[in-house]
């Protein structure tokens, strides 16, 4: 996962982006496309396909990204109409200090994706060295040196990160298309459509796919606040709506064709091991540097320590998780995200479009309460109910993510409507 703002100018963390600094929707779509061009997404595509089969997996990938694309369109409009970052948008509903709690959750999430990517990076390099030259090395060693490079770039090399990222996304996309082409040349008639998988729970793979994608819609205002027009903001979501299904599907297709789920073994089977190693090391380095940088920016809203200290601390924690085998818990991690992250978008979308009628005044924040209790209570309630519905015997819509979205929406509107005046912001434009 990456929330890097490569083609976006720096600044405007706490104030609206001026029209003079806006960019085209195509540039923003390239960023959101890059978010999906990561090893964990490829890995999940292979894992889901092996569990439920090609046809079911393809339906899950397209359906989930289509559904979240609708949510993404709403959050994208919040961004372009307010010109504010997600952190500032969250303050209106969750309060000044309540938004810091949410940001801490976001930082933990970004560090989790950093750990997963570093873990896969280590095993990928180890696998490539063994397959190409018979050199056996521990995966943790490559995880550590890779993380060191990513951390150093996050601290010192950010000025060049945007240029490298502009190259890494198209390069990764082109290479995946090439690998897909090679794989399809080897496909036997009916091999893909006839692959039924292991027969695992469809509900669980839907939830895991949602967990992998959900952070992008929630953080969409960070990108679309820079969109020139609302049309550009909607164009920006195409990178997510098309990019994630593409990478997930490529991972699934190639795992069926080669019989492998680990990406280097897939590339070795296709005969492109060394080019794949070069492309993947480069793109993963850039993507995970962006993850760490974004986590640092998020932590900076909670802690006033120097940014390099936050970057180093975050890297140490995430690298320790990676070396400790974080990937063995990665599915549990993204399943948790599918429950606790969606209500955030539901709440701030309801707050912007319904409660405040698309009127956000920064002067109002200075007079608002530290904690937006209706929002915090709705978030806790929605997450709790969605967690319960993930167990057999409890159900609302049969999908915990949809449950959390709906419960958060209704709970926030009701709690805000009937909350005591002192729980609401001090100055509300509609009162």
Q: Across the chain, what does the average pLDDT equal?
A: 86
pLDDT of 29 > 50? The answer is yes
**Residue range 182-192, pLDDT digits in tens:** 999 999 888 99
| pLDDT tens-digit map of 314-361 | 999 999 999 998 989 999 999 899 899 999 999 999 999 999 999 898
249-276 average pLDDT score: 89
In a domain, 158, yes or no: yes
Predicted local distance difference test score (pLDDT) of residue 427: 43
In which band, very low, low, confident or very high, does the pLDDT at 426 lie, cut at 50, 70 and 90?
very low
Average pLDDT (90-117) is 92
Q: Which whole number is the average pLDDT over 273-278?
A: 86
pLDDT at 401 over 50: yes
For the cut 50, the answer to whether the pLDDT of residue 431 exceeds it is: no
Within a domain: residue 360? no
Distances 251 to 43, 267, 321 between C-alpha atoms, Å: 6, 11, 24
Residue 129 lies in a domain: yes
Given a cut of 80, is residue 425 above it in pLDDT?
no
Return the pLDDT at 363: 82
Backbone dihedral region for residue 325 (phi beyond 0: left; psi -120 to 50: alpha; all else: beta): left
- 64-78, 158-172, 387-401: which range is least confident on average? 158-172
d(CA 77, CA 236): 11
Q: Judge whether residue 12 has pLDDT over 80.
A: no
Which pLDDT value is given to residue 262? 82
Q: Which of 25-34, 171-180, 259-268 tops mean pLDDT?
A: 171-180
Per-residue pLDDT tens digits for 253-262 = 999 999 888 8
> Taking a C-beta distance cutoff of 8 angstroms, is the pair 295, 118 a contact?
no
CATH number at residue 132: 1.10.4160.10
422 pLDDT above the threshold of 50:
no
- pLDDT at position 5, please? 40
Given a cut of 70, whether residue 295 has pLDDT beyond it is yes
Q: Give Cβ neighbours of residue 357 (< 8 Å, ≥ 6 apart).
A: 429, 430
| pLDDT, greater one: 304 or 209 | 209
pLDDT of residue 6: 41
Q: Give the per-residue pLDDT at 429.
A: 42
Residue 50 sits in which domain range?
23-328
pLDDT at 391 over 70: yes
- pLDDT digit string, tens, across residues 71-86: 999 999 999 999 998 8
164, part of any domain: yes
State the Cα angle at 350 between 346 and 351, rounded to 5°. 115
Q: Which residues contact 147 (CB under 8 A, 6 or more apart)?
A: 118, 288, 315, 318, 319, 322
Residue 377 lies in a domain: no
- How many structural domains compose the chain? 1
Average pLDDT over residues 7-12: 52
pLDDT over 90 (residue 156): no
In a domain, 429, yes or no: no
Share of the chain above pLDDT 90, in %: 49
Residue 357 lies in a domain: no
- The answer, yes or no, to whether residue 384 has pLDDT greater than 90, is yes
Q: Is residue 346 part of a domain?
A: no
pLDDT digits (tens, 9 = 90+) for 213-228: 998 999 899 889 989 9
307-312: average pLDDT: 90
d(CA 94, CA 431): 19
pLDDT for res 354: 94
Q: What is the mean pLDDT of residues 77-104?
A: 92
Mean pLDDT of 393-411: 85
């Amino acid at each position: 996962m990456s929330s890097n703002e490569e083609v976006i100018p720096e600044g405007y963390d706490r104030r609206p982006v001026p029209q003079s600094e806006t960019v085209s929707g195509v540039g923003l779509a390239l960023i959101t496309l890059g978010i999906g061009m990561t090893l964990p997404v490829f890995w999940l595509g292979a894992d889901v396909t092996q569990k439920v089969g090609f046809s079911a997996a393809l339906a899950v990938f397209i359906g989930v990204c289509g559904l979240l694309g609708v949510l993404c369109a709403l959050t994208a409009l919040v961004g372009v109409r307010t010109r504010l970052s997600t952190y500032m948008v969250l303050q209106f509903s969750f309060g000044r200090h309540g938004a810091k709690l949410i940001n801490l959750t976001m930082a933990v999430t970004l560090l989790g994706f950093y750990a997963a990517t570093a873990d896969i990076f280590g095993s990928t390099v180890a696998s490539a060295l063994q397959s190409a030259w018979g050199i056996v090395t521990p995966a943790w060693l490559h995880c550590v040196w890779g993380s060191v490079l990513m951390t150093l770039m996050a601290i010192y090399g950010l000025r060049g990160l945007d240029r490298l990222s502009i190259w890494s996304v198209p390069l990764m996309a082109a290479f995946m298309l090439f690998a897909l082409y090679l794989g399809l040349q080897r496909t036997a008639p009916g091999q893909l459509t006839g692959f039924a998988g292991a027969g695992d729970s469809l509900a669980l793979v839907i939830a895991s796919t949602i967990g992998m994608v959900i952070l992008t819609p929630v953080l969409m205002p960070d990108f679309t606040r820079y969109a020139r027009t609302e049309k550009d903001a909607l164009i920006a979501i195409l990178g997510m709506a098309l990019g994630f299904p593409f990478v997930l599907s490529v991972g699934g297709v190639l795992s069926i064709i080669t019989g492998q789920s680990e990406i280097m073994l897939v590339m070795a089977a296709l005969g492109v091991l060394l080019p794949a190693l070069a492309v993947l090391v480069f793109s993963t380095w850039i993507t995970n540097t962006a993850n760490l940088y974004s986590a640092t920016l998020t932590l900076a809203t909670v802690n006033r320590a120097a940014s390099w200290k936050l970057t180093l601390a975050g890297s140490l924690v995430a690298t320790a998780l990676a070396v400790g085998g974080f990937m063995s818990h990665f599915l549990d991690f993204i399943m948790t995200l599918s429950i606790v992250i969606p209500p955030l978008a539901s709440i701030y979308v309801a707050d912007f479009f319904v409660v405040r009628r698309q009127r956000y005044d920064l002067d109002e924040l200075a007079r608002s309460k530290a904690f937006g209790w209706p929002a915090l209570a709705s978030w806790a309630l929605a997450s709790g109910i969605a967690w319960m519905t993930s167990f057999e015997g409890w159900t609302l819509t049969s999908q915990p993510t949809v449950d959390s979205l709906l419960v958060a929406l209704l709970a926030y509107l009701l709690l805000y409507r009937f909350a005591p005046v002192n729980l609401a912001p001090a100055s509300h434009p509609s009162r």
